């Protein structure tokens, strides 16, 4: 059996007519930049999350960057961010000239540990970035309380958490602003780069909208020097066509996660993702921790099963950040580097495929 890590073709095949129609209609409109389809998507996505404003951007990294710029983050400021994440959540701080201060993550949820946030706060701290990694919402109630008490801006990175929730409250609705990515493999993915910022703050909406459009809201109205990072009409049309299926597709990921859990819960050599009542995990990634991870990965590959390591290195061990930190201060991230392994989890995965993956995992440890 061959099991790829992702299967974008299966999603396309399921709604090909809608997607092709949306793309063709956009081409025929000959409006490619920001336009009415982008606005329609922005309104639909904000509405789905129960938020007031959504600003379509070029990608998730620019979404995060424009939020930090809106908060005036600059040289001399510190921003607390998890040591275990995708590099965007550190590099946008560096791009502002500020200092990323890393906080280790929780071993169960793989998201930023609130105790580590508290330890990392100094008089220079301006913001905290909470990343809802793999689709699991971080401990937002505690983190929001810490930020409130210390007067810090709270940014949510929802690149991997479309419609993830905590006790029914969506990721992206806890902080001052949230960034989403619609990179093609995300739970809601475009056919190229795209992203957005979500907020309830009208002045933030206007500033970020301007920043990502050369400082202008309409043509030639350049109030300040900005950038160019806009969602385009074709990506918006694709996202709008896919949006009605997002909830159902997330449910299928959850169903697959439950199947994995049922078949793998007695395998002592691995740890399956933690889940508890009220944690609205959407399983963008199904990350297990495994003994002899590299051996297991190789064995699965030999048996036709593709897996990925998200991520081979903690941010604190990557060249841009390695020199400035004490690697021993991030024991959980260090452990994840050695143990983490992502199994295929896309909605179209069949029961037989899941059973085969689990059978091979068990066979590896019996060898
Ligand atoms: C957690 C996280 N943050 C930010 C991003 C950046 O998004 P983009 O690739 O759209 O710039 C990603 C993308 O993979 C991500 O996984």
State the closest ligand 1 atom to the C-alpha of 132, by its place in the atom list counted from 1: 1
Average pLDDT on 173-184 reads 98
Judged against a pLDDT cut of 90, whether residue 276 lies above it is answered with no
Interatomic CA distance for residues 120 and 125, integer angstroms: 8
Orientation of helix 36-49 relative to helix 233-242, angle to 10°: 40
Of 34, 38, 89, the C-alpha closest to 67 is 89
Q: What is the pLDDT of residues 189-210, one digit of tens each?
A: 999 999 999 999 999 999 999 9
Q: What is the pLDDT of residues 293-311, one digit of tens each?
A: 999 999 999 999 999 999 9
Cα(88) to ligand 1 centroid in Å equals 6
Average pLDDT on 105-133 reads 98
Which DSSP string corresponds to 127-168?
Answer: EEEEE-GGGPPP-HHHHHHHHHHHT-EEEEE-TT-TT-EETT
Interatomic CA distance for residues 123 and 110, integer angstroms: 27
**342 Cβ below 6 A of ligand 1:** no
Judged against a pLDDT cut of 90, whether residue 324 lies above it is answered with no
Average pLDDT on 226-244 reads 98
Judged against a pLDDT cut of 90, whether residue 327 lies above it is answered with no
**175 Cβ below 6 A of ligand 1:** no
Mean pLDDT of the chain: 97
> H/E element holding 126?
strand 125-131
Average pLDDT on 264-291 reads 94
Judged against a pLDDT cut of 90, whether residue 278 lies above it is answered with no
> H/E element holding 199?
strand 195-199
**157 Cβ below 6 A of ligand 1:** yes
**63 Cβ below 6 A of ligand 1:** no
Cα(185) to ligand 1 centroid in Å equals 11
Of 297, 273, 299, the C-alpha closest to 285 is 273
Of 293, 254, 296, 291, the C-alpha closest to 273 is 254
Mutate to test the pocket of ligand 1, among 6, 60, 111, 137 (most ligand atoms within 8 A of CB): 60
The pLDDT-based confidence of 279 (bands split at 50, 70, 90) is confident
Mutate to test the pocket of ligand 1, among 129, 161, 181 (most ligand atoms within 8 A of CB): 181
The pLDDT-based confidence of 367 (bands split at 50, 70, 90) is confident
Mutate to test the pocket of ligand 1, among 68, 129, 159, 172 (most ligand atoms within 8 A of CB): 159
What would the 3-class secondary structure string for 18-72 be? HHHHHHHHHHHHCCCCCCHHHHHHHHHHHHHHCCCEEEEECCHHHHHHHHHHHCC
Judged against a pLDDT cut of 80, whether residue 277 lies above it is answered with no
**156 Cβ below 6 A of ligand 1:** no
Residue 243 DSSP symbol:
G
The pLDDT-based confidence of 217 (bands split at 50, 70, 90) is very high
**Residue percentage of the chain with pLDDT more than 70:** 100
**Model confidence pTM above 0.95:** yes
Q: Measured in whole angstroms, how far is the alpha carbon of residue 106 from the centre of its chain? A: 17
Contact 158, 138 (CB under 8 A): no
Of 229, 361, 211, 221, the C-alpha closest to 301 is 361
Judged against a pLDDT cut of 90, whether residue 346 lies above it is answered with yes
Residues in the chain: 367
Q: What is the pLDDT of residues 78-116, one digit of tens each?
A: 999 999 999 999 999 999 999 999 999 999 999 999 999
Cα(60) to ligand 1 centroid in Å equals 5
Q: Output Rg (C-alpha) for the chain, integer angstroms.
A: 21
Where would I find the H helices in 71-226?
88-95, 114-120, 140-150, 202-211
Which pLDDT belongs to residue 275?
82
CA distances to 19, 97, 237, 284 from 248, rounded to whole Å, are 17, 41, 19, 14
């Amino acid at each position: 059996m061959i099991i790829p890590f992702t299967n974008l073709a299966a999603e396309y095949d399921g709604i090909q007519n809608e997607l092709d129609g949306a793309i063709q209609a956009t081409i025929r409109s000959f409006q490619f930049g920001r336009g009415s389809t982008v606005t329609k998507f922005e309104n639909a996505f904000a509405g789905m999350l129960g938020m007031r404003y959504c600003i379509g951007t070029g990608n998730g990294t620019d979404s995060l960057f424009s939020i930090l710029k809106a908060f005036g983050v600059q040289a001399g400021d510190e921003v607390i961010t998890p040591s275990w994440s995708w590099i965007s959540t550190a590099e946008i701080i560096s791009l502002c000239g500020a200092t990323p201060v890393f906080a280790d993550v929780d071993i169960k949820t793989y998201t930023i540990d609130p105790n580590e946030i508290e330890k990392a706060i100094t008089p220079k701290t301006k913001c905290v970035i909470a990343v809802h990694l793999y689709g699991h919402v971080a401990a937002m109630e505690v983190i929001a309380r810490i930020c409130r008490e210390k007067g810090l801006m709270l940014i949510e990175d929802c690149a991997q958490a479309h419609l993830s929730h905590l006790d029914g409250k969506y990721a992206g609705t806890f902080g001052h602003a949230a960034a989403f990515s619609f990179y093609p493999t995300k739970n809601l993915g475009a056919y190229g780069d795209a992203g957005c910022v979500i907020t309830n703050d009208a002045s933030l909406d206007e500033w970020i909208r301007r920043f990502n459009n050369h400082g202008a809201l309409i043509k030639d109205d350049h109030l300040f020097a900005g950038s160019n990072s806009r969602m385009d009409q074709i990506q918006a049309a694709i996202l709008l066509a896919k949006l009605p299926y997002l909830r159902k597709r997330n449910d299928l990921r959850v169903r697959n996660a439950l199947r994995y859990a049922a078949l793998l819960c007695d395998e002592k050599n691995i740890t399956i993702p933690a889940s508890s009542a009220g944690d609205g995990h959407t399983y963008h990634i199904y990350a297990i921790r495994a003994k002899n991870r590299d051996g297991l990965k190789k064995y699965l590959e030999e048996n036709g099963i593709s897996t990925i390591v998200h991520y081979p290195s903690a941010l604190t061990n990557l060249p841009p950040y390695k020199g400035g930190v004490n690697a021993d201060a991030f024991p959980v991230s260090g452990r994840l580097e050695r143990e983490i392994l992502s199994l295929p989890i896309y909605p179209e995965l069949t029961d037989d495929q899941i059973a085969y993956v689990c059978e091979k995992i068990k066979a590896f440890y019996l060898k």
